[in-house]
Structure 1
Amino acid sequence: MRLLIVLCLFISGHTLAQNDILAKDYFKKGEFEKALHEYKKLYKQSPSNPNYINPLIKTYQELEQYNAAETLLIELLERIKYPPFLVELGYNYQIQNQLEKANQQYNKAISSLDDNVNYAFAMARNFQNHSLLNETITVYEKAMALNPKLDFTLQLAQIYGEQGNIEKMFTSYIDFAQLNKNNLSSIKRAINDFISEDSLNENNTIFRKILIRKLQQEPNVLWNDLLSWLFIQQKDYKKAFIQEKAIFNRQPESLLRIQELASIASKENENDISKEIWEYIIDTSQNKDTTLNAYFNLLQLETNIALPEHYKTIEATYNELFKKFGLFSQTFKLQIAYAHFLAFYKNETAKATSFLEKTIELPLTKLQLAEVKLELGDILVLQEKFNQALIYYTQIQRNVKNSTISQKARFKVAKASYYKGDFKWAESQLKILKASTSQLMANDALDLKLLITDNKYEDSLQTALKLYAKADLLTFQNKTDSAITILNTILKNHKTEPIIAQALLKQAQLFESKSQFEKAKTNYEAIIENYRDGILADDAYFALANIYQKQLNQPKKAKALYEQIIFNHADSIYFVEARKKYRALRGDAIN
């Protein structure tokens, strides 16, 4: 008997589910008569189920059977006594333009909260579903006044945003963050939709003024945190640094936030402020690892922007650090950086190799040893001693299998083979790397594989591809001018080959690295004009837009180029960033 009951319940539940799917499908297709037939059956079988009640009401309204909807709602209110249905009854009058009757029901619904405030959320949701935002706000505010334990601050913030009441929205989000610090990341994401990179944007100004006012009234690191975050969005890292120092002065446990700010500024090529922040960390830190990391990043920054006449000072700094902190495993990253500086900037490869061979003798972990060998391999590639470099790269793959650095070593094997013209072996290694766990590594491997595959059959001697590989090697060797010259040879002598677009892009990037933006612009324009249907078009649009925006101060032209990516290259890796920049240039108040 029990089994029979269970079986009947199962069959009944299954039938309801099937009918529900059918009813939804009819409603979605606009076949409201059929949908009504199904929803009536569902309602009859389960007369208290809101999943059937609400769609049944909507279906009546779509068919303009307002009297039937009214009768149903009145019956429900008498039977279930559920005040949120008063909102639905009021809306049923509103869509018939019976506004007085509608408002009577809305007021009745809101008044019912005096008897039971627990209906507030459902009632507010019904108001919001019908875009009755003022009534939604009234419900939330009244509920919180009746029961201070209820907190609808977040919901109110969202409603204020929908209304365009930006100041109230920001204030509500900030108030919610103050009481719910664990949700700060979510709050920042919500606020981010209403601000832009433009510090003069009206919303940015409102948000900043609210926070400064809060800071003046009641010092709290939360206000500093949000101000710092705002300044970072605006790429005003100097002002963000002031806020981060204020936070650290009140909570001096860790410099991690300030380190992260320095890294962000470095990535954005804001070298002056990045240098200032790293120097502050060096002066402030009581932790040796933090200090060494700051020195490492500071020297990387200084090396990247240094002229040859500054190299002597940089080398002296390295030697002073080794004298102060010693040559041991804790400074191995600095040792690798120093060897790289000697080889790639001062062209003292023998000195660099000799130095790293001493580093290998230190008690290093397997991963640390792999990093040293990776640099030794790179120095050998710099000298075009490819076979010797491959020995180091292969050792890394064997000794630290399935690690990120092992995948990096395999990519360098492929790159070294590519440099010396062994495209077949390079391809075999790149094929393996396409499935790399590191997305960046997989993308780099795919890009190089496509370059080889797309160009190796065009010319049996592979002349253009070999020249391009040579230009790539010269770039790796910091011989930018020579690389540009080689690429010119390709552009001049191989005009009909598919590698031309790649050569134009590579050369444009090299021009940019030398701040020759007009030359870079010419190349990007040539790609857009002649290869707009190729896979590099979006690269050219995005890079050219950045030049117009950041270097040539022509925002209208930049906006038009970002627009090309948005409408014609929706699958581009630049799509999201292009859309963000386009909207900022268009002056959108809300993203």
Structure 2
Amino acid sequence: MLRKFWHRYFIVCLLATLCIEGWGQKSDNSPQSNTMLANLLFEQKEFAKAVLFFEDIVETNPDDETSYQRYLRCLVVLNEQEKAIKFIKKRIKKSTRPLPYVIDECWVNTTFPSSNLDKKYAERSQELLNLILEKIRPDANAHLFVSKRFDEHQLKEFAIKTLEQADLVFENIPEISNQLAFLYMETGDRMSGLGEYSNMMIYNGLPFESIKPILEIHITDSIDFIVFQRILIEQIQENPEITALSEGLKWTFIKQENWSSAFLYTRSLDKRLKENGSRVFELGGICISNKAYLVAIQCFEYCVSLGETGFNWLQCQAMLIETKYDYYSSNTASIAEIVDLKTQMTKFEKENGPQEATIPIAIKLATLYAQNDSLFTSKTASGIVTGFDMAEQLLRRYLAGESNPSLGTSKIDPGSNERSSFPYVLKKTATANVKIALGDILLAAGDVWTSELLYAQVEKDFKEEELGQFAKFKRAELSFYRGDFDWASMQLDVLKSATTQLISNDAMELALVIIDNLGIDSNYLALNWYGKALLAEKQHHFKTAFLYLDSINVSFPGHALSDEILFIRARIKETTKNYVEAASLLETLSIAYNFDILADNALYKLGLLYAYKLNDSSKAMERFEKLIETYGSSVYIVDARREYRKIRGY
């Protein structure tokens, strides 16, 4: 209240000053002072005072459009419509271009208070509208001007009628169609609005890309998408040659995450336009981004089926294999599926040799070997060869061009059918990616020292770049596992401002674990055991990991690490396919530690478990919904919304 008082006091003082100056020195910019004062009063909603100033201004300066409009609005607010109409009629008589004033008179006739708004005013406004439409110059710009003027007065129905007339007289003018569609959407006539947008593709010949930004704004719910789809399907049947319509239909399916329908229409369009798979390849990438792996596989299978003459055939083969790997990594794969995938990857890698397209396949193949170490372990003439050995050999072959003796050599020699070195020299970024992958595999195999050396090399080569930051985080994690918490904490502090959000978030989470738990016990034993448990998990020594985690619970009951321990135990249970136990642990975490940093993680993981492992869609939706409602700033919020929509149906 006090603030409001001083605000009004300031206005009164300013008005008094201006009035004194205006009255005492009429020759000194008096019109400008009056205009400024009138506008100030208008903005403060002091209409009764403002109208007195505007009345003088519009008489002395009839070309001042802003003052004219504000004068009319003051009269309307003060219920002096009759006075406003008389004033407008004077303007009409004097003007050589009376149309804008006729529009204003039409508007004023619609503003009478409901108690006074009898039939004659409504009829008069309709008469004026008809007169305007009859007398308007036969020109598209004139119709656009009149429509805009009506729209400014919030007479949207009149604005629509003006443009509907223009649409009949002047065919195929995008500006008219666009404005008409916009007004339809604003007034809630979604069917007409969306129909007008589709007509712009047919009659104006506009590509879908030019209309898409407008649709992104106006189509806000599933009903709009359904209506637009029906309109497009009907128009595609009548105009199959207009590709913009099919592109629009594909877009609606993508926005609804109806990936199967998007694939069918994209493939149909690709065949019709003889694009050799380029459009379908692009859709495959979109599907991967949204984790719709099965439809992405369909996309790349179609592209591969086109043969060597198809769009980027080698890349399509690589993407097909990579997508299968991603799908099996996020879902439970059978031994037969893993072996079949390994066969496809090996075949592709051998047939195509070292090049940009094969490097991601080689990295994923090596990871597949390491993750399924026991499955791929076999006896050879030179002894036991494990999955880790095969992974290491494969990646070292790709690094052979570097000739770096500090990396050591693989414990197995290439067979007669294997290349021991390649003529291909890896690009710097590709080399770094291979080194990080090899570092991860060696860490899992127990060679921590070489793993850190590889990470350090990448960090050095890409100091200020994302790859370097990723390698630095890997080194910080290693230091944490070894119990060097001070050094790890220093590196993590640097990474909190990393350019990549994911690295930054991971760094903050690990840094918080250190900050929250250092000093709780004088010898940091609990934190040390926790680091060792994480390393044991990385190396798939799950019994050892559980021993360390159990030791913390027994020796330090109620420790601050209790929520992290639950989370790691759940993660191990999921890795070993004990999904019910994993879900139970995550449920405990999400309830008992709902205030802690891992609560949103737990809910997101629970949603995924129920959706894809335990086949309980209802519980999955509940967990995603709780995450969305309770943890609005969570890094999982976008993914949770997508998963929720996917289960519910858009």
Which band: TM-score by shorter chain? 0.7 to 0.9
Equivalent residue, structure 2, for 1:136: 159
Task: Report 1:52-451 matches (<5 A).
Answer: 52-80=67-95, 81-96=97-112, 97=117, 98-114=121-137, 117-148=140-171, 150-151=173-174, 152-178=176-202, 179-181=205-207, 182-190=209-217, 192-195=219-222, 202-219=223-240, 220-253=242-275, 255-286=277-308, 287-301=312-326, 303-304=328-329, 305-328=332-355, 330-346=357-373, 348-360=387-399, 361=401, 362-451=424-513
Question: 1:363 Cα shift?
Answer: 0.9
Q: Distance in 1 between matches of 2:596 and 2:125?
A: 59
Q: Distance in 1 between matches of 2:361 and 2:548?
A: 34
Amino acid at match of 1:446: M
> Secondary structure of the residue that 1:554 maps to in structure 2?
helix
Match 1:22 to one of 19, 22, 40: 40
What value does the CA root-mean-square deviation take over the aligned residues? 4.1
Q: Distance in 2 between matches of 1:38 and 1:509?
A: 74
Question: 1:38 Cα shift?
Answer: 6.6
Amino acid at match of 1:183: S
Question: 1:140 Cα shift?
Answer: 0.8
What TM-score comes out, normalization by structure 1 length? Answer: 0.81
Q: Distance in 1 between matches of 2:491 and 2:31?
A: 56
Amino acid at match of 1:143: A
**1:88-117 deviation digits (Å, cap 9, x = unpaired):** 323322221232233233333333324665
Which is higher, the Rg of structure 1 or of structure 2? 2
Question: 1:186 Cα shift?
Answer: 1.2
Moved more, 570-579 or 158-167: 570-579
Equivalent residue, structure 2, for 1:562: 625
Amino acid at match of 2:63: S
Q: 1:209 to 1:302 in 2, by over 3 A?
A: closer
Amino acid at match of 1:307: S
Asked whether the 8 Å contact 1:127–1:135 carries over to 2, the reply is yes
> Secondary structure of the residue that 2:443 maps to in structure 1?
helix
Amino acid at match of 2:179: Q
Asked whether the 8 Å contact 1:559–1:585 carries over to 2, the reply is no
Amino acid at match of 2:151: Q
Moved more, 516-525 or 212-221: 516-525
> Secondary structure of the residue that 2:63 maps to in structure 1?
coil
* Gaps in structure 1 of 5+ consecutive residues: 1-10, 196-201
Q: Distance in 2 between matches of 1:294 and 1:584?
A: 24
Equivalent residue, structure 1, for 2:20: none
Amino acid at match of 1:22: L
Question: 1:65 Cα shift?
Answer: 3.4
What TM-score comes out, normalization by structure 2 length? Answer: 0.74
Equivalent residue, structure 2, for 1:4: none
Asked whether the 8 Å contact 1:524–1:540 carries over to 2, the reply is yes
Kindly tell me the number of residue pairs found equivalent between the two proteins: 567
Moved more, 136-145 or 493-502: 493-502
Q: 1:397 to 1:535 in 2, by over 3 A?
A: closer
Q: 1:137 to 1:242 in 2, by over 3 A?
A: same
Amino acid at match of 1:258: V
Amino acid at match of 1:139: T
Q: Distance in 2 between matches of 1:560 and 1:43?
A: 64
Q: 1:269 to 1:439 in 2, by over 3 A?
A: closer
Q: 1:248 to 1:586 in 2, by over 3 A?
A: closer
Question: 1:49 Cα shift?
Answer: 4.0
Q: Distance in 2 between matches of 1:313 and 1:340?
A: 15
Equivalent residue, structure 2, for 1:5: none
* Gaps in structure 2 of 5+ consecutive residues: 1-28, 374-385, 402-423
1:48 aligns with 2:88: no
Amino acid at match of 2:326: L
Amino acid at match of 1:212: I
Q: 1:141 to 1:320 in 2, by over 3 A?
A: same
**1:282-314 deviation digits (Å, cap 9, x = unpaired):** 222533542343244245236524334544333
Asked whether the 8 Å contact 2:35–2:53 carries over to 1, the reply is no
Q: Distance in 1 between matches of 2:320 and 2:159?
A: 55
Q: Distance in 2 between matches of 1:445 and 1:328?
A: 33
Question: 1:359 Cα shift?
Answer: 0.7
